[in-house]
Amino acid sequence: MSMTLAQAKEKLHKYGQEHVLKYYDELSAADQAALLEQIESSDMDILDSCKHQKELLERGVITPLAAMELPEIEANREAFTAAGISAIQAGKVGAVLLAGGMGTRLGSDAPKGVYNIGVTRELYIFECLVNNLMEVVRRADAWIHLFVMTSDKNHEATVKFLTEHGFFGYRPEYVHFFQQKMALAVDYAGKVYLEEKGRMASSPNGNGGWFISLKEAGLLDLIRREGIEWLNAFAVDNVLQKIADPCFIGATIRKKCVAGAKVVGKVTPDEKVGAICLEDGRPSIVEYYDMTQELMDAKDAQGKPAYHFGVILNYLFNVEELERIVAQSLPLHVVEKKIPCLNQDGEPVKPQEPNGYKFENLILDMIHQMGSCLPFEVVREKEFAPIKNKTGVDSVESARQLLEQNGVTL
Ligand code: UTP
């Protein structure tokens, strides 16, 4: 039984959101109940955050964090790989596909992973990722549990697609879905938008909530039962990335770090990727929009750019360390976005320009909670082909080119 109308009014009044009930009387009984349920379950404490954006994102003291670069990796490749393979064979490694995002820049309503990037044949983004993971499964001769995070907006479509395609050959009992949480979306005055007369506008709450959501879905029990000690979390949109890469896992273990981050050398100091660093002595990532000229010009002890390495959203986390930090809150990012909503006349509109804020937690902030982190350099042309846009930079076009360069038939 969800809250009563009186209780909903009281909650909305507390947060100055009474307008949410504007169309309540017009709704069917089922829609009324659904709206009350959404009001009850929504976190409205976050709404105030858009008024304190500056304070939310204040940074500590940034200093360099040395990466393990290619020559060192090459010199130790065999030993690292062997260590990674034995961890995989011992069942200590799991993979987490972050696929809860909306992929709005790609301009399709479907989940990003179902996008067909083939030219002469069908080749879906999900398929590329499974193929990449299968390479390691074959090499280690051991299956790796794959956890797939979806959101309210794309869960059904994702599960249906992967099931219909037989998980592209992955063993179904090694695939586990879980859903992330949603966060309300507001206009510039902090008022929650309605996306339907009986529904507040909401969007996935960012990729930083994945471990909490995985835990709430009961999957931590499976992780403990199976003895999984490491989780490799990765983005849905990098079709070239190596997943559960034995060399990366082995290097992180050998260096006695509790986390690892795959990084690439930035092409220009102001490239739009987050730079790995230390912040107040702990591993951290400076977002490209926080990169000051001073940081871009800074040099390390060898005279090389001190903040040269950018993250590619492929991280390794030690499970015990994740359990330690799970109760710690992550900073909330208030992001300007285009939010589909009802206009004054109650008709649905899809704005062409940003019209308000969404609230997100980001996985990169989890790195700052880790006791240590190994930045592990990879060759960009071999491991980084993100698909964010339809054309241009980081697009379907650029990813196709990179896939072909790496011998993938499209
Ligand atoms: P992006 O930051 O590219 O966001 O996500 P997005 O929502 O996919 O795309 P745009 O900005 O709307 O175009 C980076 C990775 O984090 C995942 C995405 O699925 C992608 O793998 N992600 C993002 C989530 O899993 N949940 C979220 O709430 C946001």
Question: 163 C-alpha to center of ligand 1: Å?
Answer: 22
Ligand 1 pocket mutation, candidates 96, 97, 102, 390, criterion most atoms within 8 A of CB: 102
Measuring from atom 1 of ligand 1, which residue has the nearest CA?
101
Q: Which residues of 168-189 are buried (b: 16+ CB within 10 A; e: fewer)?
A: eebeeebbbbbbbbbbbbbeee
> Among the atoms of ligand 1, which is closest to the Cα of residue 237?
21
C-beta 2 within 6 A of ligand 1: no
Checking 133-137 for CB contacts under 8 A at 24+ apart, the result is 133/95, 133/170, 133/243, 133/244, 134/169, 134/170, 136/88, 136/242, 136/243, 136/244, 136/245, 136/246
In the chain the first and final C-alpha atoms are separated, in Å, by 52
CA of 235 to the centre of ligand 1 (A): 8
Q: Are 342 and 348 in contact (CB under 8 A)?
A: yes
Ligand 1 atom 2, closest CA: 101
Tokens of 3: 């809250």
What is the pTM for the complete model shown? 0.95
Residues forming beta bridges with residue 333, ordered by sequence position: 360
The answer to whether residue 56 scores a pLDDT higher than 80 is no
Mean model confidence pLDDT for the chain: 95
Contacts (Cβ under 8 Å, ≥6 apart) of 209:
180, 181, 330, 361
Task: For residue range 82-114, list pLDDT tens digits in order.
Answer: 999 999 999 999 999 999 998 888 888 899 999
Question: How many whole angstroms separate alpha carbon 211 and alpha carbon 284?
Answer: 18
Residue from 237, 272, 289, 360 whose mutation best tests the ligand 1 pocket (most atoms within 8 A of CB): 237
Confidence grade of residue 404 (pLDDT, cut at 50, 70, 90): very high
